[in-house]
Amino acid sequence: MLWFLANYIIIYFLQDSKIPFSTKTAASLSTHTGLNFAADVFLLIESEGIGINWSSLNRKVNNYTLGTNIGMTFVNIAIFLILSIYAD
C-alpha cells in the first residue's frame, strides 16, 4: 500500500513541465509512474487532434514522449526478468 502511495507522490511532484527529461525517464522505471506520464501525453496529443501513430511517438509533451515510455517498459521487463531468474 505504501508503494502505491509513494508512486502518486512521485507523480505529483514530477507533473511540472520544468522537470528535466532525464528525471522523468528515471522515474519511469516504476511502471505506474511511467504509465501515468504516458496517459498524460496520450490525452494531450489526442486533444490537439493529431492522434497517436508511429510518427508521433517521439513528440515531446511536458518533457516526456510515448516512445520513452515504451522503451522504459521494455527495460523494466528486462530488469524483472533478470530478478526473477536470479531469485528462482
Of all helices (H) and strands (E), which one includes residue 37?
helix 31-47
d(CA 88, CA 85): 5
Q: What share of the chain is helix, strand, coil (3-state, %, to 5)?
A: 70, 0, 30
d(CA 59, CA 45): 9
Q: Average of pLDDT values for 65-78?
A: 93
Give the tens place of pLDDT for each residue, 4-60.
777 778 777 777 778 888 888 888 888 888 888 898 889 988 888 888 888 888 888
d(CA 63, CA 13): 14
pTM score of the predicted model: 0.81
Reported confidence tier of residue 77, pLDDT bands at 50, 70, 90: very high
d(CA 47, CA 71): 24
Residue 84 has φ and ψ, to the nearest 5°, of -70, -35
